[in-house]
Amino acid sequence: MTRRGFVLPGSLVLLSIAACQSAGPVALSEADRAAIEATSQAFLTAARAADWTAVAATYTEDAVLMPPNAPAVAGRSAIQAFFESLPPVTQFDLTSLEIEGRDDLAYVRGTYEMTMSGAGGLPVVDSGKYLEIRRRQADGSWLLHRDVFNSDLALPEPCVAG
């Protein structure tokens, strides 16, 4: 076989390999962003109504919630129990500041403001930030897979016995 005989088959092999290669990660579509926002709205609506089953349904079965000043909470049922243990929420707002992602993975960065009933019914006001990792589900929804939030408020000064 001549040298020319190797060039043509070799070129075809290279072209075939290039054609089979992935075009790279696919950016989020507007439909993905809308589905992510819809999940955020479902979470917010359920939390305002103290519907902790519906809040938990916005998480994947193997989700991990990382609340401030507490151990990580793993699994949808444990996350529901965590939310059920909170004092009553009287006001709650979320603001998404950034939504980015590729393929079936996205993140949402935002802020929250909330008021809960404290001791003696006194309001406890908190504001802070959150970062969520979302996974696209087979039905096109985007559930929370990892969720961390923390307060912007300074910790109270420790009481020192004197």
- Long-range contacts of range 77-81, CB-CB < 8 Å, 24 or more positions apart? 79/55, 80/52, 80/53, 80/55, 80/56
Residue 135's pLDDT is 98
Residue 162 pLDDT > 80? no
Fill in the amino acid letter for 102. Answer: R
Residue 25's pLDDT is 83
The mean pLDDT of the chain is 89
User: What pLDDT, in 10s, does the model give residues 38-73?
Assistant: 999 999 999 999 999 999 999 999 999 999 999 999
Residue 9's pLDDT is 54
Contact by Cβ (8 Å): 117, 91 = no
Q: Describe the chain by its helix, strand, coil percentages, rounded to 5.
A: 35, 40, 30
The secondary structure element, H or E, covering residue 87 is none
User: What pLDDT, in 10s, does the model give residues 117-127?
Assistant: 988 889 999 99
User: Where residue 33 falls among pLDDT bands split at 50, 70, 90?
Assistant: very high
Taken in order of first residue, the domains within the chain and their CATH numbers are 26-151 (3.10.450.50)
Give the percent of the chain with pLDDT over 90. 76
Q: How many CB atoms lie within 10 A of CB 88?
A: 10
User: Where residue 155 falls among pLDDT bands split at 50, 70, 90?
Assistant: confident
Q: How many CB atoms lie within 10 A of CB 144?
A: 25
d(CA 91, CA 14): 60
Contact by Cβ (8 Å): 117, 7 = no
User: Where residue 110 falls among pLDDT bands split at 50, 70, 90?
Assistant: very high
Residue 11 pLDDT > 60? no
User: Where residue 131 falls among pLDDT bands split at 50, 70, 90?
Assistant: very high
Does the model's pTM come out above 0.85? Answer: no
User: Where residue 97 falls among pLDDT bands split at 50, 70, 90?
Assistant: very high
